[in-house]
Each structure stands twice: as structure tokens, then as C-alpha cells.
Structure 1
Amino acid sequence: MKFTFIVTLIFLFVFAQSTEAKEREIKGKVTTFGKIPLNKVQINGKNLDKEYLSDENGNFRFICDEDEKLTFEAHGFISQKIKVSNFDKGDSIKVDLRYKSGKKNFDEATDFGHISASQLNYAIAHLEAGPDYSGYRTILEAIEGRIPGVQVSNSGINIRGTSTLNSGPTPALLVVDGTIVEFPVFVNIAPSQVKSIDVLKGGAASARYGSRGMGGVVIVRTKTQN
């Protein structure tokens, strides 16, 4: 009887140990546009003892259960969830939040201190290649709403401030890896292959492309360019 009791206690102890969630320290960084650090990103989890925040360099570090699912949230950005178990111990976890675009989201992102206005303005005007590009269906979708003053239609791209009194908006000149291309060619560029996008207008456009750039210029560099 005594032996059975001892065996039972040992079994219960082993069972309790096996069912108890294992904890580990995790660390990582939260960014946007592939490289800009995000400050004060809220990190929540079902079994976390409290809410954690990324620091001014986007870094975070805390202890949580190995089976925890973490949610990263910031005003003006699309939230993202990750499973801790998908990463090996010691790995640095990289989380890149996608910016929602629009004035309301711009104001929220900057007012809540996630990113400075100058950083966000630069990122919007000069889209760097990053994880979020693969989420777009077309290059037009990637450009639309992300670059101030640019309007996209089924026939071309118009840049605000380039029209004249005698004529309507003039479609922007499209340049890919240094070569002027037609609109049908431009729209077939895979977003995942885009390295950067720049917009020129006014004197900057005329200086480089003459009268051809009177409607502004959209310059795209792809990852295949040397």
C-alpha cells in the first residue's frame, strides 16, 4: 500500500512537470518599411504577466511561455501575431509592421511616438524594399496612397502640381532602372522585385528629362539592377 502511494506521488510529480509550460527569454526588434525602428509598440500575450513595449530603438526583451502567441500593435500600423515556438532559442525576432497610410494614420503613428514625422515622411516618399512589398498585388497598389500628391488610374500615374491652365493632368514619365517604359510594361513589375521608388516634379524633373518630364517622373529601381 505504501509502495503504491509513493509511486502515485512520483507519477503526479512527473505529470505536473511535463504539463507545466516552459519559459524562455525572447528578444527582438520591431521595425517598419524594413528598417525604421518603432518605439512604444505594444506587445501582448494571453499568458503574459503584463504588457510590454519596444524601446526607442525598436528593441524588446522579456520572459514568456514557449507556447505563447504574441501580438504586436502600434497606432497607424497593421498589427502582427507571432508564435514564440516558431523561433529557436537565442534567435533575435524581427517584426516588421506595415504602415496603413493616410493622414489619420500618419497623425496617430507620430502623435503616439512610434516614429518621427521626418522618418515617416521620408519612408512614404522613398519606399525602400522591405517585407511589406510582397503583400501588394501590383506596383500601382504599392504606390497609391503612399506617396503624397500621386494619383493612380488605369491609364497612368498623375502627379499633383504638374498640370497647366491649357491642358489637364499630364501622365508622369515612367523610368525603370534608367530606362523609360510604357505604362503596360510598368504595371507588370512585380512589387517583390522593387528596391526603391522616387518621384520627381518641377525643376528636378525638367533638369533630368527635359520636356518629357513636364508631368513629373516616377523612378523605380529593382533588385535586379547592378
Structure 2
Amino acid sequence: MNKLLPLPGRLLIPVLACCLPLAVATAAPVASARTFRTNAQPAAPITGRITDAKGEGIPGVTVLVKGTSTGVTTDVNGNFSLDAPEGAILVVSSIGYASQEVPVNGRTSVNLTLNNSDQKLDEVVVLGYVTQDRQNLTSAVSNVDIGGAKKAPAATITEAIQGRTTGVQINNSGNPGQNPSITIRGLGSINGGSAPLYVVDGLWTDNIRDLNPTDIEALTVLKDASSTSIYGSRGANGVIIITTK
């Protein structure tokens, strides 16, 4: 004769059966989270020094962990320090030097020598009353290729400039003895004039029509706020600096 379980025991069996799937579902995410933490690579401190071909430290070099926003810049001696995983790749770059990608490979110290790039950074620009290297210049300045103008003979200085630099518009009035209309980067004022300031061998002038293009050694066009900072309100429409031979 079969024995019947007491009433409390019969109610307990269905309750346990319902709780079993919940227990399995709850345990699964815990296992997944545990696996993720195990596979993640911890970041370790990495130090190093970036030098040039002469062995001197390069300041301001950007050292970036590839694929992330983690990065630093070198100090005045070219030293840097950052945290990166052992399998990371460091992207090292600086203006005037060829960029390099360096695998960490578990190292805690990375020293690197950057080579000069092929960019034209040794060009000298006449800026106001001084000359400055192109690599140290951040303003909108254009050097007109006077050598190219000599290959295509021009009767006036404006013909030598036209089409040889961006942002400069030249319109000839056609009237004898009148300066052509030169506009740099568009009109700055509706009612005011748009003519730029002309500086010939350090002297301000309003007349350049008598200049012989073959007598010009260098011609520089200042287009933005750098002209105003040097020449004041007279340079608000830009400045054309001419150096004769």
C-alpha cells in the first residue's frame, strides 16, 4: 500500500521545481562576468625617452595608445610615462618627424629615436620686421614664388602675384596710373576700403605700380590676425611685404 506524503511535503516539491531555472539563469551571468575580468589585460606603467638623430630629447612629442584616447606628451627632456596593456601599440608622432608605431610587448621601458620627415620646414618667412622659420609659424602666411613669376614675364607686380597664392583677388580698373584693386580674404567692411597695406623694404607705401617685378627678391602675404598684431588697424585688410634685391 502506497504511502502518501504529508501535505507540506507535497507543496514543497513544485516550489523547488520552479526555483531551479531561476538558479541556473542567475548563475550564468556571474560566470560570464568572471570570464571577462580574467581575459582583460591590466595596464602597467611604461616610461621612456624620445630623442632625435643627435640623441637629444624632443619635447612635446605625442605618445598615444593605439585605438584609445590614452596618451601623453613628452617633457622638455623628451621623457614620458603612461599606463598601457602589455600587448598595446604606442603611436609616437610630432611635427617635423616621421610617426612610428611601437609594440609594447610586455616592456616597461620604451626608448625611441625619431627621424626628420620630408616636410618643408626650413623655409624662411618674412613676418613684419623679422624673419621666422616656417616650422615655428602658426599664422596664415603665403610666400609668392617669385622665381616662377620670372619664367612668365609680367609687366607689373600685380600680374606677377595673380594666381600664385590663395585668398588674394586682383581686379584691374583699366585706368592709366591707377593701382589695381587687391582684396585679401574678401571684403572686411562694406563702407571702408579693402586695400591691403604694402610694405616695401620696411617702409609703408600706397603705390606699388612703379615696382619692377624683376627687382623683387621676396614677396610675402599676411592674411589673418598676425597682420593686425604687427601693423595695427592699417593691417586689418592684410599686408603685402615686398623685399627688393
**TM-score (structure 2 length as normaliser):** 0.38
More helix by share: 1
Based on CA coordinates, which of the two structures has the bigger radius of gyration? Answer: 2
